[in-house]
Each structure stands twice: as structure tokens, then as C-alpha cells.
A and B are shown apart, each in its own frame.
Chain A
Amino acid sequence: MKLIPIIFFACAGCSFAASAQKDFQKKYQSQLILAEPGAVIELPEGTFTLTNTLSLEGKKKITIRGKGMDKTILSFKGQTDGAEGIRISDGSDILLEGFTVQDAKGDAIKAMHVTGIRFHEVKAEWTGVPGPANGGYGLYPVQCQGVVIDKCSSIGASDAGIYVGQSQDIVVKHSTAFHNVAGIEIENSLRAEVFENEAYENAGGVLVFDLPDLVLKKGGQVKVHHNKIHDNNYVNFAPKGNIVASVPSGTGLLILASKEVEIYENDILNNQSVSTGIISYFTTGKTIKDQAYDPFPSAISIHDNRYERKPGLPVGGDPLGLMVGKKFGGNTPHILYDGIKNPSLLDASGNWIAGQCIAIVNNKNQSIVNLDAANNFKNMALVEEGFNCNK
């Protein structure tokens, strides 16, 4: 007889919890739908469970503000609907501040077609051991104009933690990324400045990529400086098929087919396979069908960085790492260049025309290997000359 009220209360508790969740979702989703310009959506302190994407659409001048990165936590662990935690589309002057998005089924926070999107003290996180079932991107502005990511954090993304794609005028600063496949990635984007961040214990620390078959094809004018990029030797747990799945574990910084990239005054430490790589799209082994795509890196300057690595073979077992390890043993050079140059940027004697060269100068512990990728890596060798832009 006494069991009956207990069961009753237990069930009442369950349904109350479920309906409280639904109410939270509806309450904040409604606020986001009805928000007028200038509105501040205040998220309370606590951990809240959501089952569907929270979306903001077609809005101007909206702030979504929690009580702090570790105080307001939106958990999507039981998410049943929607492909991202928070989705922001077609807006302007949007500020996200002071909260964490946890365990989204897809991307944590995606912003598309927003002019003026700021992330301030926002964390995207997948809890537990990082694995391929985690969502792809943590903070994910794409086709946005005017992006600021400041004092943010991303942990556990199965693609890139902080990922800016097909966007323009970007600042990523004072942020932290670890246990992602890629820590910070700037892809097919124009005018990005990435500084004073810490990217560590990812498979790859910082990536600057230009990929084919996209709407915004040509990125460039990217500066990466005063970052701490270290110990990016985490296993690459990306699902196959994605471009980051081919980033070797042990990569500090990788430039793929990008133009006008300046890398300076970074600490690039203990990234055991590729401290820094400069490669063309050909070296990925993927075919190119996009006629308008330029697969070559050019106008790259890498200077005044500090390189260190621990003695020992490259980590991970990536084919490139294995090959370099076989050639150089435990003393892998810091900077790997695939040697494939855009022929249209060379003069008659095979030198870079003005302004298009690849400069690698004045780095502490600088060592460069030309992979000779064009000849199936046959004449892979250390090189000292040819990276000072004919000076």
C-alpha cells in the first residue's frame, strides 16, 4: 500500500522534469522569434537540457547572454531534432556571450549569412572521451561578414573547434581549443587575424585552408600571430571523408592552398609530426574538378616564430609522417613544404614573380624540408636556400 504514493510522486517528478525542459525550450525559442532590435535574451544560471535547435532568424541587434561560460550550460545531450545546438541565420549585429553549448548532435553554434557576429566568452564542448560521434564544428560562422571570436573555447569537435568558413573580416583572439581534430580553422575566408590564442592537444592546431567546389572560392589575407600552438599530437578522430581526416596527428599549423598568409611570432612547440606544413591541394591526393579553383599556396610568409619539438618519430601513423620519419628518423624538420608551385606565378628562370614567393625566415630552430611531392616524394630533402624571396 505504501508503494503507491511513492510511484505516484516518482512519475509526477519525471513528467514535471520533461515538461520543464520543454517549457525552457519553448520559452527561449519564443523570445528568439519575437525579439525586436536591441533585445537582450538573458539565459539564467544553471544547466538546461534542450532537445531541439534554438534558432534566431532574420534579426538585427540581438544579444543572447548567459551568466557566464561555466554558469549557463545548454546541454543537448538528449537532442532529438535539429542539426545544431544554436543556429543563427540571415541577421546582423548579433552578440553571443557567457554560456556553454554542450554535446550538440551536430554543430554546436552555427551562424550563416550574418553581418556582425560576435562570440564572447562562449564555450562549445563535447563531454567524455573525444570521438567521431561528436558533432563536427564548435563555433561555426559560415558566409558571415565581420566575425569576432574572443575569449572563447572549444573542446572535442570531430572536425574543427573554432571554424570560420567562407567569411570575411574575421578576428579570432584570446581563445582556447583543445581535444578537437582541428583547433582553429580558417577556410576559404578573406582577411582573418588569429592572435593570442592557445591551440593544444588537437590533432592539428591551426589550419588555413582553401578548398574547391565552394561558393566563396578564394580565401586569403590571413595573419596568424602570437599564438601558442603546442602539443597537437592528439589522435585524429575525424570521420573519414572529411578533409580534416587527412590532417596528420602531430600538426601544429597547416596551410593548404591559401594565399597571402603571414605567420609570425607564434610559439609552435612539441607538435611532433608537422610543426608547420605548406601544401597544395594536389598533396591531399583528392582530385580537382573545379576549374575556378587555385590549388596552390602562394604569397606565404613565416617569420619570427619559435619552433621546438621533442626528439622522436612523428606520431600517429599518417603516411606523410611515416615517410618523413623514415627519412629523418627522430629529428623531423619543423617546416614541411610540398614544393609544388603555381607555374603561372614563376618567371622564365623558375623564380617566384614579385610578391608571390614563400618566405620562411628568422624563425628560432628553423628547419625546412622540401617534400618533392610532385615527383612522388623521390627527392625529399632538407633545404636552406630559396625561402628568403630572392633577397
Chain B
Amino acid sequence: MSVCARDLRLRLGRAPILHGVDLTAQAGRLTAIIGPNGSGKTSLMRVLTGELAPHAGEALLNGAPIARQRPEMLARRRAVLPQQSALSFPFTVAEIVRIGLHSLAAGEAERGALIRAALAQVGLPGHAGRLYQELSGGEQQRVQLARALVQVWHPVGEDGPCWLFLDEPVSSLDIAHQLAVMRLAEDYARRGGGVIAVMHDLNLTAMFADHVLLMKDGRARAEGSPAEVMTDRLLSEAYGCELRVSHTPREGVWLLPQGARLAG
């Protein structure tokens, strides 16, 4: 079971954003989409989640065209963590996470238990009663992650794997929480679910991704395992700066921009 993009083309207004992108993300793996700003990562994500309709090409989720799935059914198969979330009213954390249960047929006891479990997973147990707007940016991002998690709590549903789409899931987090969230995503994939994440941190990508799509100017520049895609040449060319991939015995792959100084 997979999420597939077949020659996706997208225009926003008159501007072409995606020029025929292909991607095959398998369930059970963490797929990272990387690339410089404006390369079309988030737009690709918005097509894959069904938010935008491509003007050509096709996006499939577990073999079925995403555009033709009913919103409630789609909501049970995939959840989305957006890049940023603005909230208009003072909801509590529990009320926000509960919104993720919209399409779920579950009793009140299960709903409460799911909300508690998800908040514990993102490291915010005991925050249910807090007002969302009073939390820090990083905490808000983790609340949104909990909301996405309750929506597809079981990585494998009755009709196939469920999918987590994460758009820059660690952008507002400190390093400890970055690792915690990436481990959570990795664990979701290990248990049979699919994870597709837009990533800016190449080191975290190298540590956690099983499959990488490198984008540049609305095109897929390379797709494959991290070892295949994250090479000096491909990365330097895509990002337009000199990047060196180091292989260290303890940390594995590690990336440093040329000339970076860590000490002194």
C-alpha cells in the first residue's frame, strides 16, 4: 500500500508550481520531502492530502484516487499536520485535539482516552486544560500533532495503512523535542503506518528517513534511499551552496556546510 504521485502538475493562479512530479511512498516507511524554499514541497503535500486538485496527473492513496474519496473516509485514512495553525478563539488543548476525532465513530470514553494518550505521546500530559493560545509555539505545534495523531491513531486500519502527513513537524521545536517527534513518526511507520514529512533539517532527515524525495523548482530532482539522494553533488546543486556529507562511525551520516566551524 502506498501514496503515489503520477506526473503531478499544479498551477496556482497563472504560476506553475509543480511540473510533473512522481513519488511513491510506501507504508511502513518514513518518506521525507526535502528541497530549498519555494521548490514545491508544501504544494506537493497539499495535493497529496487532497487539499488542492492538480490540473494534470494523479495522486493515489492506498491505490484509490485522492480526489474521489469522500472527506470523511479520507479523514480516517490520513491526518495532516500543517506548517502553521492560527486559531481564532480561546479553545483548550483538549478541545483542539478533540477536533481531530471529527470523523471517528467512537464513544465518549474512547474519545477521552484517545485524547489523553495522544497528549502523553507528544509529551504534553497534564496540558489538556490549558488554553491553546497561552502555550509556546513549540507546544502548540505538538498539540496540533496530537490532533493529527488521534485522527489516525491506529497505524493500520480496517482497509489498509493510515498515513501521517507532516509539514515541517519540527520547525518550532528544541532539539530534544525534535528527536522525540521524529522518533514518534518513525515508530508510527514501524507499526505499519505511512509517514510523509516535509523536512528542512537534513541531519534529521538523514537520521530518520527511509525514503527521500529531493525537489527543486517544482520538479523531483531525485528519489530513493537517503544514501542515494543525499549526496554532496545532488544536495549542493539543489540547495545552491556547498554541502558535504560526512560519514562518522558513531552518528552515521552527518551534513555540514563547507567551512562551518563548530568550535573556536
User: Are both chains from one complex?
Assistant: no
Which residues from chain B sit less than 8 Å from chain A, CB to CB? Answer: none
Which residues from chain A sit less than 8 Å from chain B, CB to CB? Answer: none
